[in-house]
């Protein structure tokens, strides 16, 4: 018997497979490493044919270091990104300005601004009291460039305008102006303003609001050219009892001989200026129409020559105050034009606005004449009037009451320093304007942290509250004989 023992045959491992002993590790470290090997990177694409995560990386790694200096030199940088942009003055960055904006801003001590026809204009430059004192006792200078200005020229200019406005334009002489109102076919007011005759067949229409579309539609069939020249014409208003003296000192020769609503060309220091004796303040005043390039130099010249007379630069709030004292309604504020009124009941005829003096029903045919003739015999639907309230301090109010009920609304209010009363332009029911009607307004007065309500009686004015004799004086008073 053989001593050899037969062992069972065992399976041999393939030669290409090598088994390495894993290094010893703690249970926590092993779990972490196994988890890291099994979990793919967060940004790895999840595709069905993704390579086996256990497969060895056969790509040769790039061990060459990046040359950061070379890459930095290769980058093209826009040098303008590091250039400092010029800084614009804060008051001229996001505003629509007039040619006199910077000159007027230099006179501001309050930084109070308002919007006028889209332009940013000063509301108050110093204080309302100081500016009002200059207007009524010396002279007040303001920028009125935001008014809308149209040049109307051509062979049929006079005939076209005579058809457009409600008064006799053919009687207007060269270098004269007239207040006008123009209506649509139903007799409702489209707008109002001043019409200047510059030459035989050239006119300038100045309005508070834009009416270019209506002017162009009305020009069909006429050989006439209508242009909006608002951007090519600057304007200043110089008002007050010493306004003629200021202009005379500035080089406007014989300015005192200019009649109300007359105009004339002047040469002042080599700069042309068209001066008209017009304005809405109820007293002596002039308006200057000049080239935008010359406007800042005119402004400085007037302030310099007017300083000995007490001339002061003034803002829009004073203009509104003087307008209310003169009882003049303003488009967009005290009435809506025929095409701006959504409700036809909000539109007005000239008779309802107190502008009957600007309508000549016996004139040749004009737009709306037949409708106005019919409206003349009908009771008005509403009336725009001036109110006076005998209260010794400024108050704010809106509703106007008649016999205990609301009869209308005050659209413009102001406190007159000259008269010592509150004034208003109001739109009222016709019955509240009749004789015997008792009107009053409700106002709230604040005293510290307490408020008291007062009822103030009001009365309708049949004439403007303030019209000074100097408004019609010819020659205009100068400082030598003032």
Q: Establish if 49 belongs to a structural domain.
A: no
φ, ψ for residue 157, nearest 5 deg:
-60, -45
Using CB atoms within 10 A of its CB, is residue 91 exposed (0-12), middle (13-18) or buried (19+)? middle
The whole-model pTM stands at 0.79
Quote the percentage of the chain above a pLDDT of 70.
81
What's the number of CA atoms in the CB half-sphere (13 Å) around residue 465? Answer: 30
pLDDT band, residue 102 (cuts 50/70/90): very high
Q: Which residues share a beta bridge with 234?
A: 290
**The predicted structure's pLDDT at residue 83:** 72
Q: Establish if 84 belongs to a structural domain.
A: no
Asked if residue 11 has pLDDT above 60, the reply is no
Same domain as 448, residue 397: yes
Asked if residue 2 has pLDDT above 60, the reply is no
Same domain as 417, residue 296: no
Asked if residue 116 has pLDDT above 90, the reply is yes
Asked which of 361, 376, 391 is the last residue of a domain, the reply is 376
Q: How many domains does the chain divide into?
A: 3
How far apart are alpha carbons 400 and 34 in whole angstroms?
Answer: 89
Q: Establish if 52 belongs to a structural domain.
A: no
pLDDT band, residue 89 (cuts 50/70/90): low
Q: Establish if 431 belongs to a structural domain.
A: yes
Q: Each residue of 465-482: pLDDT tens digit? A: 999 999 999 999 998 644
Q: Establish if 58 belongs to a structural domain.
A: no
Asked if residue 347 has pLDDT above 50, the reply is yes
Q: Which residues share a beta bridge with 425?
A: 386, 412
Asked if residue 260 has pLDDT above 90, the reply is yes
Name which residue leads in pLDDT, 50 or 253: 253
**The predicted structure's pLDDT at residue 79:** 74
Residue with tokens 């005119």: 298
Residue with tokens 């109070």: 112
Q: Mean of the pLDDT values across residues 107-125?
A: 96
Q: Establish if 83 belongs to a structural domain.
A: no
Same domain as 222, residue 97: no
Q: Mean of the pLDDT values across residues 267-276?
A: 96
Report the range of poorest mean pLDDT among 32-46, 127-141, 205-219, 316-330.
Answer: 32-46
Q: Mean of the pLDDT values across residues 38-67?
A: 50
- Cβ(345)–Cβ(300) below 8 Å: no
Radius of gyration for the chain, computed over Cα atoms and rounded to the nearest angstrom: 40
pLDDT band, residue 436 (cuts 50/70/90): confident
Asked which of 376, 391, 416 is the last residue of a domain, the reply is 376
Asked which of 376, 395, 422 is the last residue of a domain, the reply is 376
Instruction: Give how far Cα 132 sits from Cα of 317, 319, 343, Å.
Output: 10, 9, 38
pLDDT band, residue 390 (cuts 50/70/90): confident
How far apart are alpha carbons 161 and 154 in whole angstroms?
Answer: 11
Q: Would strands 311-313 and 139-143 be described as parallel, antiparallel, or unpaired? A: parallel
Same domain as 295, residue 223: no
Domain that holds residue 190: 148-230+349-376
CB atoms within 10 A of CB 393: 9
Same domain as 301, residue 176: no
Same domain as 425, residue 354: no
Asked if residue 38 has pLDDT above 80, the reply is no
Same domain as 293, residue 184: no
Residue 253: give its domain's CATH number: 3.30.1360.120
Joined together, the tokens standing for residue 93 give 């960055």
pLDDT band, residue 10 (cuts 50/70/90): very low
Same domain as 114, residue 187: no
Using CB atoms within 10 A of its CB, is residue 280 exposed (0-12), middle (13-18) or buried (19+)? buried
Same domain as 254, residue 131: yes
- HEC states along the chain? CCCCCCCCCCCCCCCCCCCCCCCCCCHHHHHHHHHHHHCCCCCCCCCCCCCCCCCCCCCCCCCCCCCHHHHHHHCCCCHHHHCCCCCCCHHHCCCCCCCCHHHHHCCCCCCEEEEECCEEEEEECCCHHHHHHHHHHCEEEEECCCCEEEEEECCCHHHHHHHHECCCHHHCCCCEEEEEEEECCCCCEEEEEEEEEEECCEEEEEECCCCHHHHHHHCCCCCCEEEECHHHCEEEEEECCCHHHHHHHHCCCCHHHCCCCEEEEEEECCEEEEEECCCCCCCCEEEEEECCCCHHHHHHHHHHHHHHHCEEECCHHHHHHHHHHHCCCCECCCECCCCCCCCHHHCCCCCCCCCHHHCCCCCCCCCCHHHHHHHHCCCCCCEEEEEEECCCCCCCCCEEEECCEEEEEEEEEEEECCCCEEEEEEEECHHHHCCCCCEEEEEEEEECCEEEEEEEEEEEECCCCCCCHHHCCCCCCCCCCC
Same domain as 283, residue 175: no
Q: Mean of the pLDDT values across residues 404-410?
A: 94
Q: Each residue of 60-86: pLDDT tens digit? A: 545 456 676 676 666 666 777 667 766
How high is the mean pLDDT of the chain?
A: 87
Q: Each residue of 226-238: pLDDT tens digit? A: 999 999 999 999 9
Same domain as 137, residue 107: yes
**The predicted structure's pLDDT at residue 175:** 98
Q: Establish if 339 belongs to a structural domain.
A: no
Asked if residue 53 has pLDDT above 70, the reply is no
**The predicted structure's pLDDT at residue 363:** 87
Asked if residue 5 has pLDDT above 70, the reply is no
pLDDT band, residue 88 (cuts 50/70/90): low
How many residues comprise the chain? 482
Same domain as 237, residue 308: yes
Residue 195: give its domain's CATH number: 3.30.70.1400
Q: Establish if 15 belongs to a structural domain.
A: no
pLDDT band, residue 343 (cuts 50/70/90): very high
What's the number of CA atoms in the CB half-sphere (13 Å) around residue 401? Answer: 11
**The predicted structure's pLDDT at residue 218:** 97
Asked if residue 256 has pLDDT above 70, the reply is yes
Joined together, the tokens standing for residue 146 give 């935001």
Name which residue leads in pLDDT, 170 or 7: 170
How far apart are alpha carbons 99 and 118 in whole angstroms?
Answer: 14
How far apart are alpha carbons 252 and 269 in whole angstroms?
Answer: 10
């Amino acid at each position: 018997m053989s001593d050899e023992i037969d062992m069972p045959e065992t399976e041999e491992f393939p030669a290409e497979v090598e088994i390495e002993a894993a290094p010893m590790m703690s249970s926590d470290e092993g779990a972490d490493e196994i988890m890291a090997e099994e979990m793919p990177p967060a940004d790895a694409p999840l595709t069905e044919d993704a390579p086996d995560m256990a497969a060895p990386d056969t790509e040769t790694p790039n061990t060459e270091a990046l040359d950061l200096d070379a890459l930095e030199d290769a980058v093209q940088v826009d040098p303008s990104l590091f250039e400092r942009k010029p800084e614009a003055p804060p008051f001229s960055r996001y505003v629509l300005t007039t040619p006199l904006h910077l000159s007027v801003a230099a006179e501001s001590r309050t930084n109070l601004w308002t919007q006028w026809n889209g332009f940013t204009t000063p509301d108050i430059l110093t204080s309302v009291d100081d500016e009002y004192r200059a207007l009524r006792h010396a002279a007040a200078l303001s920028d009125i460039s935001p008014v809308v200005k149209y040049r109307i020229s051509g062979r049929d200019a006079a005939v076209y305008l005579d058809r457009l406005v409600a008064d006799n334009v053919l009687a207007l002489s060269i270098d004269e102006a007239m207040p006008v109102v123009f209506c649509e076919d139903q007799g409702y007011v489209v707008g109002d303003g001043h019409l200047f005759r510059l030459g035989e067949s050239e006119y300038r229409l100045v309005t508070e609001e834009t009416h270019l579309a209506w002017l162009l539609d009305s020009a069909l069939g006429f050989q006439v050219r209508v242009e909006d020249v608002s951007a090519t014409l600057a304007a200043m208003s110089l008002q007050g009892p010493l306004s003629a003296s200021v202009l005379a000192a500035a080089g406007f020769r014989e300015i005192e001989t200019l009649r109300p609503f007359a105009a004339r060309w002047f040469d002042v220091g080599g700069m042309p200026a068209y001066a008209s004796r017009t304005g809405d303040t109820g007293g002596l005043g002039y308006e200057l129409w000049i080239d935008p390039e010359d406007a800042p130099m005119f402004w400085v010249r007037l302030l310099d020559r007017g300083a000995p007379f007490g001339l002061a630069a003034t803002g829009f709030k004073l203009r509104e105050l003087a307008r209310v004292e003169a009882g003049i309604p303003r488009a967009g504020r005290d009435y809506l034009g025929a095409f701006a009124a959504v409700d036809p009941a909000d539109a007005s005829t000239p008779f309802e606005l107190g502008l009957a003096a600007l309508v000549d029903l016996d004139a040749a045919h004009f737009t709306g004449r037949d409708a106005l003739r019919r409206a003349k015999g009908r009771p008005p639907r509403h009336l725009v009037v001036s109110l006076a309230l005998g209260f010794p301090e400024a108050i704010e109010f809106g509703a106007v009451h008649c016999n205990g009920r609301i009869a209308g609304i005050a659209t413009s209010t102001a406190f007159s320093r000259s008269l010592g009363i509150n004034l208003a332009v109001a739109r009222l029911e016709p019955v509240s304007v009749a004789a015997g009607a008792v009107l009053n307004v409700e106002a709230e007065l604040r005293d510290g942290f307490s408020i008291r309500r007062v009822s103030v009686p009001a009365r309708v004015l049949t004439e403007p509250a303030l019209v000074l004799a100097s408004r019609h004086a010819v020659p205009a008073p100068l400082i030598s004989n003032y």
